[in-house]
Structure 1
Amino acid sequence: MLRTIIISIVIFFHSLAAQSMADLDRPEETFKKGTLLLNKNKYKEAIEQFTTLINQKQFAPELFLQMGNAHYRLQNIGLAALSYRRALLLKSNSAEARQNLELIKDKTGFVDTDPSDSNQILSLSNESLIGTLLAISLWLIGIGIALIILKIRHRKSAFALLIVGSLSATLSTFLSKARDSSRPDHRTNIVIKNDSTAHTGPAQSASTIIKLPPGSSVILVTARDNWSYVKLPNELHGWIKTESIQSLWPYDPEFSD
């Protein structure tokens, strides 16, 4: 009976660890497929593959970088800028993403509501690193529990495994929370449409406040049907068509209203 319980515990922890590692491996195939399509100039198909990963919350700077490259090739300048900004959210020292974003800024002259928006990108813990750390901690905890129950010699080593495993699990949790709490204002939206304009009222006939080239950032205050009230550069406020903007980071539950 005791032997069955021990085996069940070990299998449980090892299955959790194996699942964590498997979850890290599967997205790589989809990403490789998308990259291959991108290299073959099949940009729309590549975007479909990358979007699948994003919908699964498999975020990585390389993913958003390639998404931006695909959109740029299709002349979707606003969506390309959005993707490059997202890449920089995850890896602020991504030279290629920053260079491409600067190229778009030179081309369109986009503006930022907050002057620091373009640089308000923090280096966040890599998703795969957190997952790997969690998997290792589960293995260590499982082995430690098994050694203690079996009353195998070197109990100090067993307790050491439990302590190290627990510390690793705590660290992975801390890194995950630190990553989520270090993001820019969740209300930040990026202009993705060409010829977008902010107006004094929610109507096309209202007076123009400012033109917003694709790639510009605004802060969403409230949305009303087809129009959104946003904060603009120079402490201005105005209305812009909702279809013209997209949230900088719409996938994190911490940012949902």
Structure 2
Amino acid sequence: MKPSTTWIEISELDANNRAAQPLTFCHRARRSRCTIAAFLATALVVFLAAPAFAQEDADFAKANQEFAQRHFKEAISDYETLIRNGQWSANVFYDLGNAYFRARDFGRAILNYERALALERHHPEATANLQIARDEAGALELRPSWPERYLQIASVSQYSIAAAVAFWVAAFCLAALVLTRRRSTAMFSLFIVMLLVLAGSIFATWQLERGSKGDALAIVTGKNVQARLATADTANAVLALPPGSEIKVLSTRGDWIYAALPNNLRGWIPAKHAEQVRL
């Protein structure tokens, strides 16, 4: 009887394997169909997006051609259309600044050079042309505070990354100190250092965001603009602001902006004569 029992056990095993094979095949087929569907969906998205990217490239090339042909007003219109459509890049703002510079609109040239530098801090051409435009217009600049001068070695995004890294390392160190019986002096020291880095990064981010180059930075785009003591054209003047001058928006009241001005002054200017750098 022993051989018969062995044959039955082997037969049952073979039957089970044969029953499992179609199921495995179904899983593989389903996985294959999912992969094909994902590929087709990706291809469809790329196919539908390709004309939009091609159109943007064509519009950018058209704007550059208008600029090369010295049709600066047309080039300005084309670049601004790209920006309204969401095509923000340091080079687009830089080219728009160049078009305004050629059109002798130094206020808006400086505004767009500043926007290019807000997107790409190390843009040598924008930095150089910004200084040339300031010299041409006689634009006034805000004086950064002493902490801001030292903290400008890094950008807000870099300080934000440092804060995030310090937070998670500090969290790991705290968990290790709580869960382990033996307290490591090195782990505790690292925890303290990460807390200091976190606090310093948060302070640096806050200081830069509220500083002379922060969110409230605006550029005077109008001509013959006078900052005044009150929200009236007849109020006493505080400071004459050439085109391209920097101001820091503190508050708004109707059609007027109350701003911090160069030379540590404050005053009201018409809102239509200034635009904030950050969009």
Same-fold status (TM-score > 0.5):
yes
Query: Compared with structure 1, are the counterparts of its residues 248 and 40 closer, same or farther at alpha carbon in structure 2 (3 Å cutoff)?
Result: same
Give TM-score scaled by structure 2 length. Answer: 0.61
Compute the displacement of 1:194 (Å): 1.4
Q: What are the superposed Cα offsets for residues 160-180 of structure 1, whole Å, 9 maximum, x if unpaired?
A: xxxxxxxxxxxxxxxxxxxxx
Give the letter aligned to residue 104 of structure 2.
Q
1:6 deviation in Å? 3.7
The root-mean-square deviation of aligned C-alpha atoms, in Å, is: 3.1
Size of the aligned set, in residue pairs, is: 194
1:219 to 2:219 alignment: no
Q: TM-score, normalised by structure 1?
A: 0.66
Equivalent residue, structure 1, for 2:132: 103
Q: Distance in 1 between matches of 2:222 and 2:276?
A: 13
Residue 102 of structure 1 aligns with an amino acid whose one-letter code is Q
Q: Do the aligned residues in 2 keep the contact of 1:219 with 1:231 (CA within 8 Å)?
A: yes
1:6–1:97 distance in 2 versus 1, CA, 3 Å: closer
1:148-163 alignment, distance < 5 Å: none
Instruction: Select the residue among 68, 80, 83 that pairs with 1:39.
Output: 68
The amino acid of 1:203's aligned partner reads: A
Q: Secondary structure at the match of 1:93?
A: coil
Kindly report which structure 2 residues correspond to 1:9-88, keeping only aligned pairs within 5 A, or say none.
9-16=38-45, 24-88=53-117
Deviation, 1:123, is: 9.8
Query: In the alignment, is residue 243 of structure 1 matched against residue 233 of structure 2?
Result: no
2:101–2:133: 8 Å Cα contact kept in structure 1?
Answer: no
Q: How big is the shift at 1:109?
A: 2.3
| Equivalence map 1:90-239=2 (5 Å) | 90-115=119-144, 122=155, 184-239=213-268
Say if 2:137 is the partner of 1:89. Answer: no
Q: Distance in 2 between matches of 1:114 and 1:16?
A: 48
Structure 1 unaligned spans of 5+: 126-181, 251-257
Which shows bigger deviation, 93-102 or 36-45? 93-102
Which position in structure 1 is the counterpart of 2:194?
A: none
Q: Please say if residues 191 and 244 of structure 1, whose CA atoms lie closer than 8 Å, have aligned partners that are also in contact.
A: yes
What displacement does 1:92 show? 2.8
1:214-251 Cα distance to aligned partner (Å, 9 max, x none): 1111111222222111122244321001111011122x
Q: Measure, in 2, the Cα distance between the counterparts of 1:22 and 1:238.
A: 49
Question: What is the distance in 1 between the residues matched to 2:73 and 2:108?
Answer: 13
Q: Secondary structure at the match of 2:239?
A: strand
Question: Mean Cα displacement is larger for which, 26-35 or 9-18?
Answer: 9-18
Give the AA of the match of 1:229.
Answer: Y
Higher helix share: 2
Report the AA paired with residue 82 of structure 1.
L
Match in the other structure for 1:162: none
SS state at 1:243 partner:
helix
Inter-CA distance 123–61: structure 2 relative to 1 (3 Å threshold): farther
> CA shift at 1:35, angstroms?
0.5
Secondary structure (helix, strand or coil) at the match of 1:202 reads coil
Q: Which residue of 2 aligns with 1:137?
A: none
Deviation of 1:19 after TM superposition, in Å, equals: 5.7
**SS of residue paired to 2:218:** strand
> Which one-letter code corresponds to 1:90 in the other structure?
L
